[in-house]
Amino acid sequence: MCATSQFQTVERETLSPLKNLKQGMAFFLEVKRPKTVLGGKGRLSLDQKTFIEKIEESGGEVKVVYSVADVIEACIDWHIKVL
């Protein structure tokens, strides 16, 4: 996980993201099931899509991630130190 002591991690009922606050910016990760042999990858619900739009309209940033590699990539994109 990319959060360190300078970040706060919280969970929301609607989206259940990992939310990190860094220098007044909000970063959200929506973690979904990866694609497997037995089934397709996780999908966003309509409520999640709507909530993501609201976050982005408010200046927050959201990434939908399917793996640890995706989380690391998101942290790098956001210039957040990866453990």
Q: What is the pLDDT of residue 54?
A: 87
Q: Are 30 and 64 in contact (CB under 8 A)?
A: yes
Please say if the pLDDT value at position 6 is more than 70: no
Q: Predicted confidence band at 23 (pLDDT cuts at 50, 70, 90)?
A: low
- Domain positions in the chain are 1-34+41-83
How far, in Å, CA of 75 to CA of 80, rounded?
Answer: 5
Say which amino acid occupies 66: Y
Instruction: Provide φ and ψ at 36, rounded to 5°.
Output: -125, 170
Q: Are 32 and 44 in contact (CB under 8 A)?
A: yes
Fold of 1-34+41-83: Trna Endonuclease; Chain: A, domain 1 (3.40.1350)
Q: What is the pLDDT of residues 59-82, one digit of tens each?
A: 889 999 999 999 999 999 998 887
